[in-house]
């Protein structure tokens, strides 16, 4: 059975989108299908996708304001918090973007999604990645490496 990966993108100035595009290119092959969705206009029903099939979600989001999710991710995040659907069928990973200059709220965008998804019963695969814009390391390069290791873990779990 084909593995379906859905990348959900939260971004303000496009960096997370660039990372998602790189990850889609790297992961999409005959065996794995990747769909990248901007979070704009999404609500919690997006996680109904793949209920029957084999798949995983990859949250790729930056952080804004004072540790907030980006504007385009707000509706999805708030809908999860208010509707609180049972997401025990969901497997996910988090590639977060932030900047350590914001020491108190570093990578809180990714952390907020990680926390709410776990609260709702979803299971995270692998560790949440927290990219630091002030490190000088290009996020799209890290994303490429990180997503390949992440997909290997998804495959291990889904075929077990
Ligand atoms: C106004 C503003 C507020 C930010 N607030 C935070 C923050 O609270 N925590 C954090 O880790 N990064 C913060 N960042 C850094 C961004 O998350 C980081 O630059 C990221 O790579 C931007 O990705 P994007 O282009 O996908 O939105 C902030 C950046 C800006 C411009």
DSSP string, 68-129: BPPGGGHHHHHHHHHH----TT-EEEEEEEE-TTSGGGTTHHHHHHHHHHHHTT-EE-SPPE
Helix/strand/coil (H, E, C) string of 21-64? Answer: HHHHHHHCCCCEEEEEEECCCCCHHHHHCCCCCCEEEEEEECCE
Task: Give phi and psi for 151, each to the nearest 5.
Answer: -60, -35
Give the pLDDT band of residue 50 (cuts 50, 70, 90).
low
User: Which residues make Cβ contacts (< 8 Å) with residue 152, sequence separation at least 6?
Assistant: none
* Number of neighbours of residue 25 by Cβ within 10 angstroms: 11
For range 92-107, the mean pLDDT: 98
Q: Is the pTM of this model over 0.85?
A: yes
Count Cα atoms within 13 angstroms, Cβ side, for 79.
Answer: 14
Residue 73 CA to residue 159 CA, distance in Å, equals 31
> Nearest residue CA, atom 5 of ligand 1?
64
Radius of gyration of the chain (CA): 14
> Nearest residue CA, atom 31 of ligand 1?
64
Predicted confidence at residue 51, as pLDDT, reads 64
- Which atom from ligand 1 is nearest to the alpha carbon of 130? 11
pLDDT tens across 135-146, in order?
Answer: 999 999 999 999
Strand 129-132, strand 91-98: pairing = parallel
For range 79-105, the mean pLDDT: 97
Write out residues with Cβ below 6 Å of ligand 1.
Answer: 11-16, 62-67, 70, 97-99, 102, 105-108, 133
Query: In this structure, what token pair is assigned to residue 41?
Result: 């206009």
């Amino acid at each position: 059975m084909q593995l379906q990966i859905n990348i959900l993108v939260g971004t303000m100035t496009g960096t997370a989108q660039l990372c998602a595009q790189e990850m889609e290119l790297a992961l999409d092959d005959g065996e794995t299908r990747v769909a990248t969705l901007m979070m704009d206009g999404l609500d919690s029903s997006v996680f109904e996708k793949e209920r029957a099939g084999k798949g995983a979600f990859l949250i790729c989001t930056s952080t804004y304001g004072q540790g907030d999710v980006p504007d385009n991710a707000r509706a999805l995040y708030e809908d999860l918090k208010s509707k609180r659907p049972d997401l025990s069928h969901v497997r996910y990973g988090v590639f977060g973007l932030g900047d350590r200059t914001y020491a108190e709220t570093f990578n809180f965008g990714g952390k907020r999604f990680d926390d709410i998804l776990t609260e709702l019963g979803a299971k995270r695969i692998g560790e949440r990645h927290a990219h630091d814009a002030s490190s000088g390391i290009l996020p799209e390069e890290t994303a490429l490496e990180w997503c390949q290791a992440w997909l290997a873990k998804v495959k291990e779990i889904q075929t077990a």
